[in-house]
Amino acid sequence: MQYESFRREYISGGLSREMLDASPIRQFEGWLEQAVRAGLKDPTAMVLATVDESGAPWQRIVLLKGLSHGGFVFYTNYGSDKAAAMAHNPRVSLLFPWNELDRQVIVGGRVEKMTMAESASYFLTRPRESQIAAWASRQSRPISARALLEKQVQVLREKFGKGEIPVPDFWGGYRVLPEKIEFWQGGENRLHDRFLYRRQADAGWHIEQLQP
């Protein structure tokens, strides 16, 4: 297969400085709303990139669960590989790949743990089976067979019965506080439009246009 031949033109429209909001968070919310209205299958899916203690980068897809205090929120197991990497190096990157709209948003910043109260508030809104799965999985740890995980799920179903499922102390939220956010809009003939918001010392944002 000749991968070099795979190409297409980006014709969804351009992006100019005049079209941008002064706040990258409001700009992101506007683009996310458009992605939802366009019927994208997973508009809140984002690639989370971390660097572990050996200096090795790794990426995985997680789901955006909110915008809180100017940060991008997601939840995970505190014993996972990504949690270990973030504990070592809190600098992370997020990527929203909205290919159907010829758009992507890249976020760079520092991650912080959310409070137990914030995590509990979200956990209680999750479907019951998702709550049980959070208890059952020791995320990123080896397992010899899927059947063992399924057995643990059944054990927990019986343990909790029909009662309320408590929040695991090894599970919770993270907030990525952005230091820079890039908005990328595909353009014809590979002349894409790129605008970078960079946080200033006064907590304001400087916007500059980048060459494609």
Using a 10 angstrom Cβ sphere, with 0-12 exposed, 13-18 middle and 19 or more buried, the burial of residue 4 is: exposed
The residue length of the chain stands at 212
Is 157 one of the annotated active-site residues of the chain?
A: no
Q: Which of 103, 128, 190, 198 is catalytic?
A: 190
Q: What are phi and psi of 149, to 5 degrees?
A: -65, -45
| CA torsion, ordered 174, 183, 40, 93, to nearest 10 deg | -30
Residues annotated as catalytic are: 190
